[in-house]
Chains A and B, each alone.
Chain A
Amino acid sequence: MTAPLLELREITMSFDGFLALRDLNLSLQPGELRAVIGPNGAGKTTFLDVITGKIKPTSGDVVFKGRSLLRDQEFSIARLGIGRKFQSPRVFEQLTVRNNLALAVSRPKSPWSLLTGALSRQGRDRVDQLMEIVALHPRADYPAGSLSHGQKQWLEIAMLVGQDPDLLLVDEPVAGLTDEETDLTADLLKSLAGDHTVVVIEHDMEFIRRLDTQVTVLHQGHVLCEGRMDDIQRDERVIDVYLGGADDQQSGEQH
């Protein structure tokens, strides 16, 4: 075992007494593709918020590449190499596809360098390459707001990749996509693992199955179990809280 890229140690997140996460432990190896599932209110998005610095945990520690992230703001965590894709696609709708990607690949991200220079040759090539990967080349100079839902999802994934993070956090990448788009997204994420560490949060069981990887089940802010999809689906506890009797379970959760 090499040193983990990311480690969550005993994370507890309390919102006015409501424990969104409690004593959450999780560790990710470099190059790993990890799927995270869990019923509504299991703390999946809170878990991403804690890693990316949007909220600070009540207790516990987040360690990335051997250093704690608790003192960093969102933008510096992003610069350290953690990229995040949001649940509903969040791209900059007034900017063109090309310019959305240009912001993602820009480096350094200081005001002065943005003001005084154009994007480097490599940067422009990288933008072209990213548009090629997600098939948005024909839409390069259209505003991102004119894209379809699926195209926005892909643009956001491309932006994420353009940041060249070591860790990609992908929240529900296939919500609202067609079957064909879902398959393509699964292939894309699988191809990213290896060079990058990828965490995928998803509801869609078929999609998780396609990723064919280690799955972590969250329940009430806690890791319920980890394993391959087939084992997970046979696990009594998982069937109880999620796959089987979801009805009585969800009524007690936050929405």
Chain B
Amino acid sequence: MVASSTLLPQPSRWIRVAIWVLILAVLVAAPSVLPVFRLNLLGRFLSLAIAALGIDLIWGFTGILSLGQGVFFALGGYAVAMFLQLNTSAAAGMLPEFFRLYGVSSLPFFWEPFRSPVFTLIALWLVPALVAAVLGYLVFRNRIKGVYFSILTQAALLVFFNFFNGQQKLINGTNGLPTDTTVLFGQQVGSEPVQRVLFWITGLLLILSWFFVRWVVRGRFGDVLIAIRDDEPRIRFTGFNPVVFKTIVFAIAGALAGISGALFTVQSGIVTPQFMSVPFSIEMVIWVAVGGRGTLLGAIFGAVLINYGKSLVSEALPQSWLFIQGALFILVVTALPQGILGWFFAGGFRNLLVRAGLARPLATYPSLELDGQEEVRL
């Protein structure tokens, strides 16, 4: 069966191939073409795209709008930063520096397991996934949906933000944990060779994440997610328990945000409670809305595009970015509700050409029962 399972626009095969060629070309060429500053920026944006994939999974497919993904993002970041801090200070046989500043003489218990790199690699996605699963289960079980869910996630975000901000003696509070001066395999994490490797790892993990999410949304599991989004009460009477499905995808999105946060932290050089600021979590949602909800490539595209735009605009015209971002969001919501890629996949570009008289119109209305690609003679 070749037909797509949803009404969501699907690009034709060659467009998809073209997009993949482009993505792979960027990943392969970037390290040798871009100066390390730009490469590092691109690496950060690609890591943010992993969090965007998670948002597309829960929002675009399942209809759960979370404004609190920053929590999971930060948890991933803190996990990796704690490991790097310990790894560095252990070489000198001491506690991480900030502990000494605050007069803490023994390591808080929850730091202990982060001495292990294996534990850290698991914890950076499992901890956020578990937090998301518990939070999600409690909320979904009580059938809290829609805007109430969004408000709750934002409230949870503020709780975490304030807690992390206030805990100087546990995790260095508002100053956060720097990673760029830490040492891994005898190299400074902020150094050029390490950053190049991190770029590759980010690209690889982004592609793996994309495959994983695509696997989740394809087939009957994905159909149940769409059914939950469109008519949750109805799916219950068909014998499915939406609470379980929603909890699972919320946990997956949490895990992806955790991976994203860890990669972002090591490439930006520090994790701070600012990762859990309210605007940042809302921005994540904007990336997906602009790129195209329900089109996984759109989430990646939106995250990279908007962040690149942000860094370019901020270099040229500081202060003006927030206005541009706001305008972009309004434009997309009003004119392109399916997002840029959704619009493009739906033939929006071709329609523009038709309007400009550069292409011939297609008859694509399905109930005409044409093949869908036949040309209409005018």
Contacts and interface: CB of A to CB of B under 8 A. Distances in A.
A54 B245 contact: no
A84 interface: yes
A92 B5 CA distance: 11
B330 to A, nearest CB: 26
Contact of B238 (A76, A104, A119): A104
B3 A103 contact: no
A115 B223 CA distance: 10
Contact of B239 (A78, A95, A141, A142): A78
Contact of B227 (A74, A95, A110): A95
A52 B239 CA distance: 11
A90 interface: yes
A104 B240 CA distance: 9
A41 B242 CA distance: 30
Contact of A94 (B3, B7, B219, B233): B7
B236 interface: yes
14 contacts: A52-B237, A74-B237, A78-B236, A94-B7, A98-B1, A102-B220, A102-B223, A103-B223, A109-B239, A111-B244, A115-B221, A141-B1, A142-B3, A142-B366
Nearest to B369: A138
A107 to B, nearest CB: 8
B366 A73 contact: no
Contacts of B227: 92, 95, 103
Contacts of A115: 216, 219, 221
B105 interface: no
Contact of A143 (B7, B236, B248): B7
A207 to B, nearest CB: 23
Interface of A: 52, 54, 73-76, 78-79, 83-84, 86, 90, 92-96, 98-99, 102-104, 106, 109-111, 114-115, 118-119, 141-143, 145-146, 159, 163
Nearest to B5: A99
B226 A95 contact: yes
Given A114-B219, A142-B366, A146-B367, A94 B237 contact: no
A86 B6 contact: no
A110 B224 CA distance: 11
Interface string B161-178: 000000000000000000
A195 B68 CA distance: 50
A87 B349 CA distance: 41
Given A79-B239, A86-B234, A96 B220 contact: no
Contact of A141 (B3, B8, B238, B248): B3
Contact of A159 (B3, B223, B238, B244): B238
B7 A78 contact: no
